[in-house]
Amino acid sequence: MQDASDPLVAARLFHDALPMRIREYLNHRGIRDAVIDTHLLGWDGRRITIPIFDRDGRVAFFKRAKDPDDDTPGPKMLTPAGCSAELYGWERLRGEPPRIVICEGEFDRLVLEGHGLAAVTATGGAGVFRREWAATFASVPEVFICFDRDEAGRHGAVRVGQLIPHGKIVELPAEVGDGGDITDFFVRLGRTSEDFEELLASAEPAPAPDEPSPDHAIPKRNGRSRDRIERIKRDVSIVDVARQYVASLRGTDRVLTGRCPFHDDHVPSLAIYADRGGFHCYGCGAHGDVIDFVMRVEHLTFPQALDTLDALRLNHGRTAQGDR
Ligand SMILES: [Zn+2]
C-alpha cells in the first residue's frame, strides 16, 4: 500500500503523473529527460513539482513551478510556507566531487547537471545561503559561484564567496542580458559546455570582507620587516605548521580540513589552503595566514610569532639544502 503522505512516495506519484507537454517544456528550457527522471520532477495537477531533499536524503518539501500554459498572474515558483531554506543538491556534496557550481535557482541547477556539472542551489534565492552550509564545501577542491546577472545575484555571489574563501565567482557574459541566468546562457544563447568551461577558467575569488588584514595591523615598518614577513610566508608551509596542532588534518594537496584548535570543534571545521598559505575556520571564523595561526595557537605577539617562524624557516632551509 502506497502512503501518499510519505513525501518520497508523493514525489514518485507526481513524477509518474508528469504530462508529456510539461516534459517537453522542461526539455526546451534545457532540462534533459535523464535529469527529469533522476531528480523526480513531477506534476501535482496544477504545478511542476521539484522534490527538495535534505542533508539526510529525505524529501524536505516541494518547490512548485508554474504551469507554462497558465497565463493567470501568480508566482513562478512556490515554496511552502514555514519551510526554512535548504541546499538543493546535498547528494552531490556527499559524493565528494572534485568541483561544484553553486548557482541561483532549481532549474538552473538542473540545466548544469544536464551538462555534466555537479551543481547545487539554495532554495531561498540569491540572498539565502546559510553560514552552516559553507563548511561542507571546504573539502571540495574547486568551488564556483554563478548567480544571475543582476544586483541581487552579484551581491549574493560575493556573500557566498566570503563564506567559502576558496570559492570563485563566475560572471555570466553581458549577452545574457540584465537579470540573465544560466538557462539563458545555455538555452537562449545556445552556448555549450565548452563555453561554460571558459567562464569557469576566468572565475575570480570574491573580494575579501572589510576586515583589517594582519598587515595593516602592523605600524608602517621598514622594508626589512616587510621582506622578513614575505620570506616567512613563502618558505614556511602552513600545512607543516598546522599538522603539529591538528592531528586530524586530511584532504588534497590544495585544501586540507581538520578539527579547529581554536574552538571546541566536533566536526572538521578548519580548512587549510596550502596554495594560498591561509586558514579559515567555518565554525568560529578564525582566519588568516601562517603568522596568525602561530600567534593564535601559541598565544604569541606578532614579533614573537615572527621569531618562531623564522627559526622554523631556517631549520627548513637546512633540511632542504642538506648539510653544507
Ligand atoms: Zn574554529
| Span from the CA of 199 to the centroid of ligand 1 (angstroms) | 33
Domain final position from 156, 176, 207: 207
Domain boundary among 207, 223, 248: 207
What is the Cα–Cα distance from 209 to 162, expressed in whole angstroms? 7
Confidence of residue 210 (pLDDT cuts 50, 70, 90): low
DSSP string, 266-314: SS--EEEETTTTEEEETTT--EEEHHHHHHHHHT--HHHHHHHHHHHHH
| pLDDT score for 221 | 52
187 and 166, same structural domain? yes
How far apart are the CA of 265 and the centre of ligand 1, in A?
Answer: 7
Last residue of a domain, one of 83, 102, 122: 83
Q: Are residues 230 and 202 in the same domain?
A: no
CA of 28 to the centre of ligand 1 (A): 46
Whole-angstrom distance, CA of residue 252 vs CA of residue 139: 8
- Report CA(266)–ligand 1 centroid distance (Å): 10
* Rounded distance between C-alpha atoms, residue 165 and residue 161, angstroms: 6
Output the domain CATH number for residue 198.
3.40.1360.10
Count up the domains in the chain and report the number: 3
317: which 3 cell numbers? 632551509
Please state, in angstroms and rounded to a whole number, the distance separating the CA atoms of residues 47 and 53: 19
Same domain, 172 and 264: no
- Taking the C-alpha atoms of 128, 170, 253 and 131 in order, what is their torsion angle to the nearest 10 degrees? -10
CA distances from 284 to 186, 244, 254, 297, 298 (A): 39, 20, 22, 14, 17
Q: Does residue 95 sit in the same domain as residue 191?
A: yes
pLDDT for residue 217 is more than 50: no
Domain shared by 102 and 65, yes or no: no
Distance CA 287, CA 25 (A): 47
What cell was used for 150? 543582476
> Looking at the structure, do residues 27 and 7 belong to the same domain, yes or no?
yes
Q: How far is the CA of 27 from the centre of ligand 1 (A)?
A: 45
Does residue 145 share a domain with residue 225?
no
Q: CA-CA distance, 83 to 7, in Å (whole number)?
A: 14
Domain match, 114 and 195 both: yes
Cα of 289 to ligand 1 centre, how many Å? 14
- Same domain for 277 and 257: yes
Distance CA 23, CA 10 (A): 18
**Which residues lie below 8 Å from residue 46, measured CB to CB, with a gap of 6+?**
64, 67, 70
Regarding whether 201 and 239 lie in a shared domain, the answer is no
Confidence of residue 213 (pLDDT cuts 50, 70, 90): very low
Query: Position 55: which residue type?
Result: R
Which range marks the domain in which residue 28 is found? 1-83
Judgement on whether residues 223 and 309 belong to the same structural domain of the protein: yes
CB 27 within 8 A of CB 20: no
What pLDDT score does 239 carry? 93
The Cα-based distances of 166 to 204, 276, 292, 298, 320 in angstroms read 10, 9, 18, 26, 29
Q: What is the CA radius of gyration of the chain?
A: 24
Q: Read off the pLDDT band of 298 (50, 70, 90).
A: confident
pLDDT band (50, 70, 90) for residue 316: low
248 and 182 in a common domain? no
Report how far ligand 1's centroid is from the alpha carbon of 258 (Å). 10
pLDDT at 320: 42
| Model confidence pLDDT, tens digit, residues 132-157 | 899 899 889 999 999 999 988 999 99
pLDDT tens sequence across 190-199: 999 999 999 9
**Is the distance from CB of 85 to CB of 78 less than 8 angstroms?**
no
Q: Summarize the confidence of residues 118-123 as an average pLDDT.
A: 96
**Contacts of residue 125, Cβ cutoff 8 Å, sequence gap at least 6:** 104, 152, 156
Which CATH number covers residue 248? Answer: 3.90.580.10
> Cα(260) to centroid of ligand 1, in Å?
5
Neighbours of ion ligand 1 (CB under 5 A): 260, 262-263, 281, 283-284, 286
Q: Does 238 have pLDDT greater than 50?
A: yes
CATH code of the domain in which 44 resides = 3.90.980.10
